[in-house]
Amino acid sequence: MDKKYLDTLKNTELRPEKIKIKERKEVLLNEQENKLEIMKEIFTQSPPFGDLPAGPLKDMQILRTAIIAEYDAANLYEQMAIQTSSENIATVLKDIANEEKQHIGEFEFLLEHIDPMHETSENEGEEEAMELTGLAEPPGEED
């Protein structure tokens, strides 16, 4: 939290309603600027596979990173859909979230073709989860 904001709170006996509106706006703007700087830093960093030579290992890491990005995007759009008061916006956001999930499937398909252990490990994980939980395979997953 901004030091100036904390000092202001101390000087007003922890009663934010006594803080001037201008000071509150300034604090909120500072917080937004800090968040934007953090986001810029995150998105301008190169992915961890940047130094690897071209080849299957780099391709697998690229695909896994793409899958993570698609899951993050799908989660973000679903959360936004829940938060909006507009049914139209929610409908579009949910549709886009579903498109991100389709992208996951595309990347998974490619990953299964270059990582010989991917599908086997995934299947073993599903079997283990079924044993631990007693749940059956999800609908549409039967062979």
Domain extent listing, the chain: 3-43, 52-133
Give the model confidence (pLDDT) of 72-124 as tens digits: 999 999 999 999 999 999 999 999 999 999 999 999 999 999 998 999 999 99
Whole-number Å distance between alpha carbons of 141 and 48: 33
pLDDT band for position 14 (cuts 50, 70, 90): very low
Whole-number Å distance between alpha carbons of 34 and 143: 50
